[in-house]
Amino acid sequence: MSTETVTITAIGAEGDGIARTGQGPVFIPFTLPGEEVAIARVKNQGTAMSWSKLSDDRVAPSCRHFGPEGAGGTCGGCSLQHWADLPYQSFKRDLVVSALAARRIEADVAPLVACSAGARRRVTFSARLTEKGLVLGYMQAGSHHIVTIEDCPIASPAIIGRLAGIRRIATALATGSEPFRITVLATKSGLDLDFLDLRKPDARKQQAAVDLAIQEKGIARISLGSEVLVEPQKPELDFGGIAVIVPPGAFVQASEHAEAVMAELVGAHLGKAKRIADLFSGCGTFALRLARKSAVHAVEFDAPALAALDQAARRAQGLKPVSVERRDLFRRPLQPMDLKQIDAVVFDPPRAGAEAQAQELARSKVARIAAVSCNPVTLARDLEILIAGGYKLKSVTPIDQFLWSGHVEAVALLER
């Protein structure tokens, strides 16, 4: 380990400050451009020891668990709470601009759509049972240490207001000292708790958790992976006025506000199409909204998510026809022949993107496409494929769904 003083010149994609040195870039958390910092360095990773110059854009963080002085250790959930709004928002937008520029894509990139604190309806906690009791919080960045939290400014008040109840249920279920995760989703009917990486508790522990779920207010369901332990209420989300009962561990957009913005952009672009394909459809975030005006064919590999979408469509009134297809779009993307009767497509893949499907779309005659992504790099790659196939990129809108992190959502709209 060596100690040296460096000047921060930029913020990296993960939210760390970057110092350029003769040995290459060094990444230092909790620093900002223009700051002069004494660091302890191991290879290309630095730890800030003291500052000789602070940025004018530095602000007080919103959370006591943030930063090198965080209470109980540095929470790994956020990386940019110390940055003023304007430069922070410019950085988030530039993540998309830079990814497109790297592919030589010229685009009209809109200003960043901001999301407020307390908007995250889905978070994942880490937990471990110790001799002193249960530790519950977030993993410290770059370590296996769990930072216990008492509050969290990004999470919904519906989640933070029930932290004590979540701890009681986790304590009842915990076995051994190995860490485990709890994915918490705030639904209209209460919290949906999904325990992952947890050694299966015995019947006595399971019954204790069931009793607590019934006693605690606001718990809709407890699951151990895909296995439902207890379900006092059906966990229900609202997709544009259509009720969807989500399966355990289902992917949904992290922020309800971000979801609404994305759906509005997609709907405005595709809304006049007679028949739409929703690829990587999940539980129906876009499909069910689009079905108010258009026939929709939803394609998804996750069988429980697809079943939830199908059941919601069958229960809803006034929708156009909704068909579903279980299909691995990474291995078996829809071909131009499959898309022959399709007027428009929306796709929202995982972070790996939709390269194989984009190649087939580029060969199709689909008139309009909406591409949704949480990874600007793979989005730019997929857009490059579509543009080379004859599509024109009309606009790209970045959305700050992942507040104070190095991640950003984006919606790109294309026409043939």
Residue set of the binding site for S-adenosyl-L-methionine: 253, 280, 300, 348
Three-class DSSP category at 253: coil
Output the six-digit token pair for 239.
């997709």
In 96-249, the DSSP E strands lie at: 122-130, 133-139, 146-148, 180-187, 190-196, 219-224, 227-230, 236-239, 242-245
Enclosing H/E stretch for 308: helix 303-315
Spatial distance between the Cα atoms of 296 and 312, rounded to a whole number of angstroms: 13
**Residue found under tokens 């087939």:** 360
Q: Burial code of 52-86, b = ≥16 C-beta within 10 A, e = fewer?
A: eeebebbeebbbebbbeebebbbbbbbbbbbbeee
Cα dihedral: 235, 239, 244, 246 (round 10) = -50
Biggest CA pair distance of the chain:
67
**Are 193 and 171 contacting, i.e. CB atoms less than 8 angstroms apart?**
no
115 annotated active-site: no
**Residue whose C-alpha is closest to residue 266's, from 382, 345, 352, 374:** 345
**Residue found under tokens 């939210």:** 15
Task: Point out the catalytic residue in the list 63, 78, 115, 374.
Answer: 374
For the chain, the C-alpha Rg in angstroms (whole number) is: 23
Spatial distance between the Cα atoms of 136 and 126, rounded to a whole number of angstroms: 6
156 to 160, 259, 318: CA distances (angstroms): 7, 15, 32
Annotated catalytic residues are 374
